[in-house]
Structure formats: structure tokens, C-alpha cells
Structure 1
Amino acid sequence: MRPIVFLVLAFAVTHASAAKPNVLLICVDDLKPTLGCYGDPVAQTPHIDSIAARGVQFNKAYCNQAVCSPSRNALMTGLRPQTIGVYDLPTFFRNGAPDAITLGQFLKSNGYHAESLGKIYHRGHGNGDDADTWSVPHWNPPGPTYQLPKSTADVQVTADGKKRYASTERADVADDSYADGQTAIEAAKRIKAAAAQPDQPFFLAVGFIRPHLPFVAPEKYWAMYDPNELPMPELDSPPKNAPSFAPTTWGELRNYSDIPAKGTLTSETTRHLIHGYYAATSYTDAQVGLVLKTLSETGLDDNTLIVFWGDHGWHLGDHGMWCKHTNYEQAARIPLIIATPDRQSAGSKTDALIETVDIYPTVAALARLGTPPGLDGVSQAAVISDPTAHVRDHAIGVYPRSGRLGRAIRTQDYRLVQWRRFGADESEDLYELYDYVNDPLETENRIDQLPTVAAELKALLAQHPDPRPPVPNKLKYNGAQFKSQTNTKAASAKKDSTMPFSELTPEQQRQKREQWFDGRDADGDGKITRKEFGAKQDADSDALDSRFARYDTDGDGALSREEFVAAGKK
């Protein structure tokens, strides 16, 4: 057992006698601050707004990476992606941080009963939940994504063998016809059960999926909005002078059957998608309302710390981009509200910079459990007491692209992004610099115009350790113990070894390509070089060069796992 574990247990003993507030963590997928409490003039989100009225709203909160799994890992471990070495969806975080004490584990060690519902950790792409975090098995809502046959009439199969259908659905159905409605009902049941055990403090993590794609929501939430009054993008092109690889190509949205594989969207489609995003947001707001109503009816709201968090932002057509997957403001900025049981600084808004990794130590401090050691995050409890206080002078986030890692320093007025290949020296670095005082829409990279500011932000970046390269995805968590994926895949490959590749299902083909990738990635750096690509093949050099070039869709001279599995297909 590592020393960190002994320290965690020491905290449990030291603070065992202190009164413990319950902790309700509400996580919402792909939610940017399109909320009434954040000043959005269109959004109808009264229940989320009510959390802001009882707590402190962070106006400058930032995720640590604008994609689901790394962002949620940061939330639950208090460790940044560049510390863990996980920047993708498939890699389970304990490959890089096997001894991490998660927020749930920490609270459990202090006498809490920890439960999770819906989407907390990223589940999918070969990744799964972390059973050690919870007191009981994770609960996931059953049921289909769509309610209308026409929504699934057209299908598109993605490169990894998944089926995608319509990007939106507007159905005249009850709230619990969709997963989030079921999650809210289950959360209400768990809260009522907790109320029957007043001496047992609980940690309840409730994860809602919408407004993640597809934008599905009951008719009444679509009807809340006049599409002609919805805000349309002010900027339809990437920032001037930005590196060509920095923007996202929004492949996530293009996977859906009613979205074109290339090119821009029509203004009609743009407006419809924005309508769907707002409708899905209001739908989730209503589910949050059910959870809050139950908390109030049981009398538990007077002793419950509430944390409302969006895992990352989302591009709604700004810069000509959709989805997340960038270091830009629309993808990196998140909604975050913290409400203490005693309504400390109720209704306050703060411009204090805060990162997702700060939530873990902040919850620990507000629950009077001390600060866990070894975290990247810092407690922002001082800001809850005094919203004019500032704990950080900058926030840091990352996003990988084209074999480089973009590390972004965000201060009150600026963002600097450094792009560097793992293992390369600074001579190859590329930079972006955005001035939010004079250019809030990020229309231009001003790295050459603001040398003094650039030097100051580079000095802040230099305070951080070098980022960890991507860790190999060698281990999969099965709920009880670590299991080697290599062994699991080898057994599967042996079983299917007599079948021609073309006769395998899309999922089996994807798994086999995953096996091939692991076999060729000799140094375990998550990339395949031209030499590694041809090491186990007998084909002539020209043929291998041609195939490698076809697979290398971003032209960086190395194949990522995604590029290899896609095999040159869009």
C-alpha cells in the first residue's frame, strides 16, 4: 500500500467525529453555460438557476480537457490528464494512475455511502466504470435512445463499427421515455432511501446525458423555443493565423446519418441543431428539478452540499465548428455551481479561475475532511466564503491534435496554447494567443502582436511539469480486479482465427485491428511509426508506403490508434 493511502485513512480517523454534510454531485454531458443564470437570454433553465440562487456560480470555470473521459477522470481523481497520461476515450484511467484515490474512495474512507447513477465516468469505447469508487454497483438507465421509428430509418456505421442515426428527435413522449428521465426517477428513489438513514452521510453522483448528441427531448421542451429567436453563430471561420490543425473537424457530429460527411451546414440545419441543443438542455434542467424537489421534500437539502458541473463546453457552429475537442473558449469553459448546506454566499457569482480538478479538494474542504494529498487540484473553499477571492492566477487545460499536445494557459484576459510533440524540444513549438478583452470571439491568433503577454504566459506554463506521454491501454477494469486486455484479446483472436477478416462483424474487425495496433506499437507510445507498421508484414515497400500514407490521415508521419483502426476510412 502506498503512503497516500495511509494519509487518506489518517484523514478519516482525524475527522470521523465531525458532522458530515451529504454530497450531491450533478454531472451534465456536453453542457456549455447556455443557462439562464449565466446570462443566456434564451435558455429556460429554472431548476439549474435555482442552484445558482442558493450557491456560488463560477463564471470562469474550465475543464482540463474538452472530451468526456479525461475530463471526468480529472473530476473524480483530482489529477489532470497530463498527470495521468490519458487523453482519449478508450483508455481506463487506472492504466496511468493505478493507485489513485478517487473522490468516492476518499469519501467512503470518511464514512460516506457512495452511489452513482447515469454517466459519471466515461463508459464506452472499451472503457468502463471504476467499481472501487462506489459502495454499490453503478446504475445505468435502460432503454433505447430514440422513440420514433423515423429516427432510426437511416443508419450510418462509423469507423469503429458503431451505428449512428438521426442527430435529433422531437417526440411527444413522457420525460421518462428517455434515459435521463429514468435517471432522475432513480435518483429520487435513492434520496428517499437515504432519508430513512439520517445517520449515514451519502455521496450521490447523478449523471445526465443530454445535451450530448443526439439531441433527443420530448416535444414540450422543443416547444419552449421559437427557433427564429435562437442565437446563431457570430463567426463562421477558425481564428486567423491559427495552426491549421488546431480546429476540430467535428467528426462526432458527422457520424450521424442526417449530417453531411464534409462541407459546411446550411443555415436551416444549423438553426435546427441549436434548437435541439437548447431543447435537450431544458429537458435535463427538468430532470435536475425532480432531483432537487425530492431533496427538499425529504428535508435533506438543509444538510447537502450540491455541486453542479458540466464536463466541457461545446461548439455550436462558432468558428465554423461543432462539438468539443479543441482548446478554444467555447469548448473549454464549463458551468460550475457549488451550493453549501448553509447557503454560504448564496446567489453570488465569481470570476475566480477554477479547474475541474479543484472540485475534489473543494468538496473535501467543505465537508470538513481536510485536503487529500497528492492532487493537482486546490481547494476553492475560500472563494465560497468570499467570492471576490482568487485562489489561482491561471487555469491549465490540454487537447491533443496531430501528434502534438496543446497545453492551454487561461488567465483572466488571455489564453496561450503551446503545441508540442511528445519528446520534442521547444524549437518545434507552435503557439496561439488570444486576447479576450479586445477579441472575445477569438477571431485572430495574436502571438506575434503581444510578445510581452506571450512571455508572461510562457513563464506560467513553465511552472508545470512536462506532460506525461499517452499511457498504453494495457489494462481493463472488470469491476473487481485488473485484467490484461492483451490476454483477453488474444483469447478472442484465437477463437476467431479461422474466420477471414471480411467475414467478421464490424465490432470484431475493430477488435482485431485493436489487437494488431497493440502488437505493432512496440514502444507502447500510442503511435505506430512507418517502421513499426511494416515490421510484421511481408508486402513490398511501395505497397506498405502507400497503405501507411492512406492510413495517416493527418499526415504527421505516425498512426494513432484511431487512424489505424479506421484504416484510412473517413
Structure 2
Amino acid sequence: MLNKTNLNYVRKESILWAINLLLCFAISYGQKREQKTRPNVLLILVDDLKPTLGTYGDTTVKSPNIDNLASMGMRFDMAYANQAVCAPSRYNLMLGSRSTSTGLYSFGKDFREPFPNAITLPQVFKNAGYHTESMGKVYHIGHGNTNDEISWSIPHHKDKVIEYIVPESTGRELTREEAFFENTRMYVADTPKNKDLPRGAAWESPDVLDDAYADGRVANEAVDRLRMHSKNQDSPFFMAVGFARPHLPFSVPQKYWDMYDPQRLPMPQFEGYPEGSPKFAVKRGGEIDQFTPIPVGPDLYEDSLKRKLIHGYYASVSYMDAQLGKVLEELRRLDLDKNTIVILWGDHGWHLGDHGIWTKHTNYEQATRIPLIFVAPGITQPGSSTNRIAETVDIYPTLVDLAGLKLPITPQPLDGTSLKASLDLDAEVLGNSDYAYHSYIRNNYLGEAIRNNRYRMVRWTNLKDNADVIYELFDYKTDPNETKNIAGLNKQIVTNLQDILNSHPKAKTE
């Protein structure tokens, strides 16, 4: 039987229970409301894209959609990759860590081997209640590398990087680059190595629809995903969309080749080795001669072949730009653009015959300078640009900052700096006192570079003999084509830039 005291106790407990229930509902409602008001993120990754874009001053290329994207936000005119290699560069982005901090310089090693509990950029958003998803080339899948499933809320939507439609392009056989990107045969015992497979064509141009190739299909997938998100906005999204072109082979529909007169394309201005530089710093052959009809060896190419490769690169940029345009148009049509941060990032640059180099894999300007564009509603000013030097590793903390999230304490080192404060400021106010730090290993020498607004200094250290050190120094005010290494004539500048280099932790090389 309840007496008066017990009855009061029950009433008190009931009231406390009701209050707690209301608080739980209020907190849950507040969290859901906060999630709904957080900005979405559309991260666009483009393979092998240098700043060969109209917005960056290229008067030959036709890139209207990227140019329009830049007109809505801020363009970084001096943005640099931390390494000019596909897989490590994407690790730089997703981990916020330079290769010199992780020791990840090449293919075939998963970042979760050295950092099993690493917190990737999409994981930060996933942990904050975002729906994270990816399609196309985001992480580098191939050459022994795989996707990182933990980063995404749903399985990654993969598509091809090496792709052919014309039978003559492959001889109807599996080509060596296809095998690399499909992770086939490389590590299978008692089978030929990939180098024993035939080479595929460096280009093809059939008269087909855009979605006959991967980038068209990836764009279609992204459009479908945006439509789903527009109908269900209970949680914000982090969507990574990776385009393959202009990566080789230049397999794009004929209409994009028709946009250019091959006789009016810009040709390389300087094709020699930089005077006074170590020969190994210049890359000849390699990736490019895995395709036909590229001659195997270090010789310079005939004018007709150079022109064809440059033509293919430009056609591929225009094809990719058109696919990106479909995604951006749908974002606007669905009215999602008003609350979506859009970032365009090229994973590294590309040599178009300068120094006699094709593709990437160097520490020179054409391989390391990248396009970087931010559109952040309410923050970036339309049509703005800056000379503030940015690095790939800066994107991780910048996106976390823009979304109003907390930068996590991570097992991997976070090397970047948030660019948020720079996004709504005029470039002239910021000045040019910062720098980029990037690296590449060639011929068993670790090349570490400091690039400021005028100079690049590269310190090449022999990995077997640390006393064997070679320096390169280039002055981009007087020598934009890197024709002469002036390190021996400017020792004080080398010392100053080396002091900056030495202020960083010692580079990991294992």
C-alpha cells in the first residue's frame, strides 16, 4: 500500500524520468537539427590535371565548367602536391600527412600498415554523422593498392582508369597498364610479370557517347546520388567524385579532339636537362612508354608525336570538364549548392614535354603545381584568387574547419594548416611569405623541396650514403622554364631554404 511519503516519491521519480526523457529528445533533436544545417561537401579529384585551365590563364584549353566553378569561389594560383605520384598524393590528401611524415612514397603499400588506426578525412565527417561516399578514382586502386572501405558509409563505386573501346587499341588482349590498375597478375606466382604483357594504345578517339568511358559513367552516378540526397536530407553528405582523365590513355570521344586544331597547340619551350642539375632529377620514359606507339627509351620524340600527345591531353581535359559540368549543374538544379562546399583538386601536375619529360614523377614545377579551387557558401568571394601557397595536406584541416567540426587527435601526423582564414581575404593582403614542402625519390636519392613565391630548392640525399648530398635551386622570376641550376651561385639562399627544410621532422624513408 502506498502511503503519502511513498506516493510523493513516486511522483518525484516520474517527474525526473519525464524531464530526462524530454532532455534526451531535445538533445537528439538538437543534434539532428545541427546535422541538417551543417554544410555538405563535394570533393572533386582529378587525375594528372595540371593548371591547364582557362581560369589559370591557358588560352588554348576549353574548360568552361571548371572556369565557372572558379568564378563562384577562390582559386589558389600557387597550390602544390606533396608528391607527384598518384597513390601517395591521395594518401597526402586523405591522411593530411606528407610522404616524408609517413614514409609512403610509392605504390603497393596500404597506409593502414604503418597507421592501422589512422583517421582519414572522410572518417572525420563520417564520425560526425555525415554520410560519406565515393565513386571513380578517389584512393588509388591498382599497382597493389586498394580502397579504404572504413572511410565510407557505403561501398566505393569503382570504375576504370585504363579503358579502351577500339579493339585495335589492345589487340584484344589484356595490356600491362590494365593489369596494373586491376591488380591482376602482379603478385600471382608462376605467371608472367606485367611488363611481359602487351602495351595498349596511348590514345583513341571513337565517335561514341560520353558515358562510353568511365568519367561519363562516374558523372551519371554522382548525379543519381545527388538526387537521392535531395530527397533525404536527414544527414549531410561528404561525396568524393574522382575523374580519371586526363590520365593516360587519352581515350575520349572524337568530339573532344575536334575542339582543337593540332597546329595551334602550345609546344614545349625547353626540352633539355637543366644546366648543372643531376641527370637523375630528369625523368625520361617510364610510364609514358608503357603505351604504343611511344618509343621505348630516353630519346626526344618527333614533332608529330609530341603534338599528338599534347592534343590528347587537351582533349581529355575538355572531356573531363564536360562530365564535371553535369555534376555541378545537377547540384545547382537541386538547390544543394547553397549549402555545399565544393573543392576541385588535381592530384599532381603533368609534364607536357618540358625537359623532354612526359607524365609526372619529378620535383619540378610542371609535376608539382596543381589546380585548387574552393567554393564555400557564405565564406569565399566569387571570382577571388590568391597567391598564398597551399599544399595538398592543407585540404584536410581546411574542410574540417569549414564544416565546423573538431580536428581529431590522429595516430598519423597532421601536417597541414587550415586555409579557412585565407578564403575570404584578398591575395594582396596575404603576401607571399609562405612555402610548400614536397618530395620525390629518384635513383635512390630522396629529393626534398622547398618552394616559396620565387625559388625552389631541392636537396637530394643519397639514401645509402647521407654524406652524398646534391642541391638544385631555381629562380622562377628569371628562369620559369628551369633551364639552369643556380645552387652553386646562391649559397645563402640555399642555406635559408634548407633551414626551413630542417625545421621539419626528419623524413621517414622506410
TM-score normalised to structure 2 length:
0.86
Q: Is the 8 A contact 1:383 1:390 kept in 2?
A: no
3-state secondary structure, aligned to 2:487 = coil
3-state secondary structure, aligned to 2:287 = helix
The alignment status of 1:438 with 2:473, answered yes or no, reads no
The alignment status of 1:375 with 2:414, answered yes or no, reads yes
Q: Which amino acid counterpart does residue 281 of structure 2 have in structure 1?
A: A
- Residue 464 of structure 1 corresponds to which residue in structure 2? 504
Deviation at 1:97, TM superposition (A): 2.1
Pick closer, same or farther for the CA change 1:336–1:144 going to 2, 3 Å.
closer
3-state secondary structure, aligned to 2:60 = coil
- Residue 196 of structure 1 corresponds to which residue in structure 2? 231
- Quote the Cα distance in structure 2 between the aligned partners of 1:377 and 1:176: 36
Pick closer, same or farther for the CA change 1:267–1:147 going to 2, 3 Å.
same
Pick closer, same or farther for the CA change 1:163–1:102 going to 2, 3 Å.
farther
- Residue 268 of structure 2 corresponds to which residue in structure 1? 233
**1:266 aligns with one of 277, 302, 325:** 302
Q: Is the 8 A contact 1:54 1:343 kept in 2?
A: no
**1:42 aligns with one of 28, 42, 60:** 60
3-state secondary structure, aligned to 2:194 = coil
- Residue 450 of structure 2 corresponds to which residue in structure 1? 409
Structure 1: tracts of 5 or more residues without a match: 1-12, 471-570
- Quote the Cα distance in structure 1 between the aligned partners of 2:408 and 2:260: 45
Q: Is the 8 A contact 1:380 1:391 kept in 2?
A: no
Pick closer, same or farther for the CA change 1:294–1:431 going to 2, 3 Å.
same
TM-score normalised to structure 1 length:
0.78
- Residue 22 of structure 2 corresponds to which residue in structure 1? none
Which is bigger in relative contact order (C-alpha 8 A, separation at least 6)? 2
Pick closer, same or farther for the CA change 1:20–1:163 going to 2, 3 Å.
farther
**1:181 aligns with one of 206, 216, 221:** 216
- Quote the Cα distance in structure 2 between the aligned partners of 1:180 and 1:66: 22
- Residue 447 of structure 1 corresponds to which residue in structure 2? 487
Deviation at 1:134, TM superposition (A): 0.4
Q: Which amino acid counterpart does residue 159 of structure 2 have in structure 1?
A: P
- Quote the Cα distance in structure 2 between the aligned partners of 1:392 and 1:14: 41
Cα deviation, 1:160-184, whole Å, max 9, x if unaligned, reads: 3454311001111000000110000
- Residue 326 of structure 2 corresponds to which residue in structure 1? 290
After TM superposition, the structure 1 stretch with the greater mean CA deviation from structure 2, 441-450 or 341-350, is 341-350
**2:110 aligns with one of 81, 87, 92:** 92
Q: Which amino acid counterpart does residue 420 of structure 1 have in structure 2?
A: T
Identity %: 47
Q: Which amino acid counterpart does residue 258 of structure 1 have in structure 2?
A: P
Map 1:206-355 → 2, pairs under 5 A: 206-262=241-297, 263-342=299-378, 344-355=380-391
- Residue 135 of structure 1 corresponds to which residue in structure 2? 153
The number of equivalent residue pairs is 457
Q: Give me the CA root mean square deviation.
A: 1.9
- Residue 53 of structure 1 corresponds to which residue in structure 2? 71
Pick closer, same or farther for the CA change 1:93–1:233 going to 2, 3 Å.
same
Q: Is the 8 A contact 2:66 2:321 kept in 1?
A: yes
- Residue 185 of structure 2 corresponds to which residue in structure 1? none
Q: Which amino acid counterpart does residue 175 of structure 1 have in structure 2?
A: D
- Residue 20 of structure 1 corresponds to which residue in structure 2? 38
3-state secondary structure, aligned to 2:401 = helix
**2:82 aligns with one of 54, 64, 67:** 64
- Residue 386 of structure 1 corresponds to which residue in structure 2? 425
The alignment status of 1:120 with 2:134, answered yes or no, reads no
Cα deviation, 1:410-446, whole Å, max 9, x if unaligned, reads: 0000000011133743x31111000001111100110
Q: Is the 8 A contact 1:238 1:443 kept in 2?
A: yes
Q: Which amino acid counterpart does residue 494 of structure 2 have in structure 1?
A: A
- Quote the Cα distance in structure 1 between the aligned partners of 2:34 and 2:473: 50
- Quote the Cα distance in structure 2 between the aligned partners of 1:143 and 1:64: 22
Q: Is the 8 A contact 1:396 1:410 kept in 2?
A: yes
- Quote the Cα distance in structure 2 between the aligned partners of 1:233 and 1:248: 15
Q: Is the 8 A contact 2:136 2:160 kept in 1?
A: no
Pick closer, same or farther for the CA change 1:354–1:390 going to 2, 3 Å.
farther
- Quote the Cα distance in structure 1 between the aligned partners of 2:31 and 2:230: 26
Deviation at 1:143, TM superposition (A): 9.9
